Structure formats: structure tokens, C-alpha cells
Amino acid sequence: MDLVQQKSLSDFEMKGAEGVFRATIARFNSVDLDGDVTFPGAFPIGKQIIVGGYNHSSMPPINALPTGKAVIGADNERAWIDGQFFVDTPHGKSMYDTVKNLGSTAEWSYFYLAPKSAPRSDYAKLYPTAKRGLVSVDPIEASAVVKGAGIGTGTDFIKSADFSDDKALVLFDQLSALFGSKAGRTLSAASRARLLAIHGELGKFLDETDPMSDDEIKAFTFEPMAGLFDLDLALAKSKEGAYR
């Protein structure tokens, strides 16, 4: 089964070499597609693991070469890995190109050992559909997959020669996923929180990468995003509705 957990960046410098990435591999306190609910604190923060080939192809029985390495990070809401693809090898470069081109479409999963579960009485009331309540897992590998068991996994960013453009595309993908469907769509508190986080990150990113004067900004229009959504209106409307 594929669960997910992660840790924050320690061995990798975000503005370092090509191939650096961050990927969310698990969301806590929600029942995944295998019927498991994973609780905050379940993952060994700081542990180094391998980044496998697509669909865990570095694990038996295929045993393909690893495509990178990563460090586990987590907070109270999710787990992630900060990693780097081996772009100086054919298999690492191929995986890097695949994940980069997939963008927000990619899902992530991890392979783990020695899971520890809480007694069902500890979580049955809050999560009546859960089969297990995981309080500890020991990941040894993570990879991008076609479909993982985890809910809300994906590539947060991936660095190329132009890191600024990569990050802009990832933020655009995330916003498009929230607002690119039917008009009038509403969001729950969880989705609203995600939108607010993207909003804050986008503001910081624009401040850090602004190449233009104030006058130039006033005359500038980002055509790909024109008409997609009005952010302030979306934030106001998202106070009601449901998230799936």
C-alpha cells in the first residue's frame, strides 16, 4: 500500500543545482484510498530516502536504478520530501523530465516498512470508514506514480535552469486546478486555506522576481491568466461550499 510522509529541506539548497524539487506525498487526518488515516508525527522527519523510478520501479521485482535522493519533512497537515534528481545520469534525467512535464498532474507515493497502528477505539468516532490509524511508518522510497493511495499528493515545485519560471508555472497550475473548472464553484475551509497559502506564496514570489518598475507593472498584462479568476472575489466566495 502507498502512504505518504515527508520532511523539510536539510541537505538540499533550493537555489542550488538543477533537479531540486519538493513533493507532497501525504495528507494527515484524512482517510486515503486504502482506507488508512495517517496521523501527524507518524513520519521520521529528517530521514534520507531514495527517489525511485516511476510507479516504484526501483523496488522489487523491477529493481531499476534510483532516480534521486530526498529528505523527509512534515508538519501537522502533510508530509513532503525535499529531493534532487540525478540529472547527470540517463535514468535520473528521464525521471526529472517526466515529473517536470507532468506538472500538477503527477501524484506521489512512498514505500514504507514497519507501520504501527493505533487501536481502532482511538479513531473510530472521527474516522468511521478508516481501516487503520497509522501512528508510525518507516519510509524507504518515494516516487511519482500514475495513481497513489494518498489524497492531495503532488509536485510542489521542481527546479530547472530557470527556477523562477518553474515556480511560476507550478503556482499557475495550482491556481488553475482550483478555478479552472465550472464557474461558481465553491470551496471548503480546507481548500480556502490552500488558496490563501498559494496567495501568500505568490505575493512573495512576485516581490522577489519583479524585473519591472511600478509604471511598467501598471501597463503589464499576464495574458495566460487573464479572465481566469478574480482572486479577491474567489476568496470571499470560498467561505461557503464543499471541497472534494
**Positive or negative: CA dihedral 155, 153, 191, 229:** positive
pLDDT tens digits for range 23-50: 999 999 999 999 999 999 999 999 999 9
Q: What local confidence, expressed as pLDDT, does residue 5 receive? A: 34
Which residues on neighbouring strands pair with residue 170, listed in sequence order?
none
Domain edges within the chain: 20-155, 162-237
- Write down the pLDDT at residue 198: 72
Over residues 61-88, mean pLDDT: 95
Mean pLDDT of the chain: 77
DSSP 116-160: EE--GGGTTTT-TT-SEEEEEEEEEEEEEESS-SSSS-EEEEE--
pTM for the full predicted model: 0.64
The more confident residue out of 160 and 209 is: 160
What band does 244 get if pLDDT is binned at 50, 70 and 90? very low
Reduced to 3 states (helix: H, G, I; strand: E, B; else coil), residue 36 is strand
pLDDT at 188: 65
Asked if residue 123 has pLDDT above 80, the reply is: yes
Question: What's residue 25's pLDDT?
Answer: 96
As a whole number, mean pLDDT of residues 174-192 equals 58
